[in-house]
Structure 1
């Protein structure tokens, strides 16, 4: 097959395959690597395709199995733990999911942004990372992408009964971590604006007032997790004390279909410091979670 013919066959699926790999792996960096491995494997195996299934099913089978291989390789899934530049209070918990990265809305197909938000939101992606790899694969292929049960079984080289068992266990685990529906767009924008106003004014109390009682703060790739208003307030005060005479500058964007902000720490006469990406998880009319990514995708994807 010529290069042009191969591109014509695979290009319509490139963007959705990238999102599939991201759902499986939780890392955009790893997803991009595995997508390239998938396309290379497809190119090399084009002679075995022979149209026995649709190109989409064939590519998803390759991508899923490449993702499963990556998920079994712990060396590529755990980035170095950053050291805070200030004395951070003791966290409530330490997360094992430190490879989580945001997914820019700019890379999403329009129908995903508006009709399948829950399948991209951070809480769902983080939940998938806690499942055994084959449970993750079965749930994404069947419940998110809607492949028939028998096709999922063939993709995973197993039987229908085994897939049903994987789905039952995965669904039960994710049901324990459900969240309320997100507010309408106007409320979402208002919450985001109030969060940004409070943070850029060093108003910790103003941020805390926006949180639910069970709110949490996580900071991949750091494992630190702060749960509850008091714990979050203690961390934020230590952080802002370190910022001292400088201040946060936030620029609104979107990630994982959620309100987000790129951030810098700035001061007159000093170079700006990249302070990561804030992504807000909303519940009702309050903020249920703040995820601050110190290592995230290229800034131009969030502009």
Structure 2
């Protein structure tokens, strides 16, 4: 057996020689990238947590089967991919439909920063790492059947050879190539038009200024100002609630019907998830003498306009490292 670097660094010759603590230490160094892989497959931060835990448990139990024909890292990816496919078969028996993903959850940039850095000399790799974690990409992936989904992520995101993907899935190379073609066609159907060629995001300076103005207008509940920053075909959703609203007029009508205009007592905290700008909003509660977590708004920006708003409930604040409340002076509690 070829000894993997992860195995060598704990001073043993094979996985069988590892105690549980040493094995866990070797596996843990890959936790974040495995978690992001599972998140792309599942669309849910919590489901990805469950898949990674299942991966480590299965890997420990199956350590005697590791023969060193691939790296320890690749072996873990194999187990993680199968764990995701098992979860999809039980929790998500049908792919998403209609452009929305009710189980979608955000992924904090602070955790994405733990991933191994992409090579700065490879701008295409940097763009791929950024754009394949955006909510639009994750949502599109959820519309694919499980096995084509796995093929797409392994081939296009991770860059695995078709033969390795075929070995993992127990398929032929021809079947994998066919599944990849179907998956790419499905992605083109569900990705926003300006994201299909993965040309990159607007400049950070342009984004920051637009987000600042959007945030100020949101705190003021100035729906006219907000609408002026939205593209005609803006999309709005609020997982896990059902419904995808498309079009500026439809979004304005929806927010008006839900009593947003005239709302007072808002405070905003800028943040970032899925490599996208986001704003955490808090609402003043007199009886608690504090600003209480309300929503997290995630923005997609293209060509200087807001093209998508995805709003998550306050129950995601803890996983994002956001305080549950702010004191009157703005300090987190």
Q: Fold match, TM over 0.5?
A: yes
1:32 and 1:234 mapped to 2: Cα distance?
37
Report the secondary structure of 2:149's partner residue: helix
- 3-state SS of the aligned residue for 1:215? strand
Contact 2:108 2:320 in 1 (8 A): no
- CA distance in structure 1 between the partners assigned to 2:320 and 2:237 by the alignment: 23
* Helix, strand or coil at the partner of 1:165: helix
User: Are the counterparts in 2 of residues 245 and 267 from structure 1 also a CA contact under 8 Å?
Assistant: no
- Can you list the C-alpha shifts for 1:110-136, whole angstroms capped at 9, x where unaligned? 636954211100000000000000111
Would you say the 8 A contact 1:25–1:71 is kept in 2?
yes
Deviates more, 1:290-299 or 1:280-289: 290-299
Answering whether residue 247 of structure 2 is matched by residue 212 of structure 1, we say no
Three-state SS of the structure 1 residue aligned to 2:117 is helix
Whether the 8 Å contact between 2:94 and 2:145 is mirrored in structure 1 is no
- Aligned counterpart for 1:252 among listed residues 266, 270, 285: 270
Contact 1:13 1:56 in 2 (8 A): yes
For 1:111, the equivalent position in structure 2 comes to 117
Distance 1:187 1:96, change over 3 A: closer
Larger Rg: 2
Instruction: Give the structure-1-normalised TM-score.
Output: 0.88
TM-score in terms of structure 2 length: 0.80
CA–CA distance in structure 1, aligned partners of residues 93 and 321 of structure 2: 23
In structure 2, runs of 5+ residues without a counterpart are 1-17, 119-124, 324-333
Match of 1:226?
Answer: 245
The structure-2 alpha-carbon separation of the partners of 1:245 and 1:118, relative to structure 1 and needing over 3 Å to count, comes to closer
Tell me how far 1:201 sits from its aligned partner.
0.5
Instruction: Say if 1:32 and 1:213 are closer, same or farther in 2 by CA, change over 3 A.
Output: same
Distance 1:188 1:136, change over 3 A: same
| Pairing partner for 1:296 from 316, 319, 332 | 316
Deviations 1:128-162 (A, max 9, x none): 00000011100000100011111111111111001
Q: Say which SS state the counterpart of residue 179 (structure 1) adopts.
A: helix
- The question of whether the paired residues in 2 share the 8 Å contact of 1:94 and 1:223 is answered with no
Match of 2:10 in 1: none
Indicate which of 202, 209, 217 corresponds to 1:198. 217
C-alpha contact (below 8 Å) 1:218/1:224 kept by paired residues: yes
Report if the CA contact (8 A) 2:221-2:264 is conserved: no
RMSD: 2.3
**Alignment partners' CA distance in 1, 2:265 and 2:94:** 33
Higher relative contact order by CA 8 Å / sep ≥ 6: 1 or 2?
A: 1
1:32-111 superposed matches below 5 A: 32-74=49-91, 97-108=101-112, 109=115, 111=117
Counterpart of 2:194 (choices 179, 187, 200) is 179
- State the partner residue of 2:304: 285
1:280 counterpart SS class? strand
Question: Which position in structure 1 is the counterpart of 2:21?
Answer: 4
Which position in structure 2 is the counterpart of 1:85? none
Q: Deviations over 1:215-259 (max 9, x none)?
A: 011000001221111111112223344x85633221100000000
Question: Post-superposition shift, 1:179?
Answer: 2.4
Matches of 2:282 and 2:163, distance apart in 1: 49
Structure 1 CA distance for aligned equivalents of residues 63 and 90 of structure 2: 26
Which of 36, 42, 57 aligns to 1:19? It is 36
Contact kept in structure 2, 1:77 and 1:99, CA below 8 Å:
no
Aligned partners of 2:59 and 2:76 also within 8 Å: yes
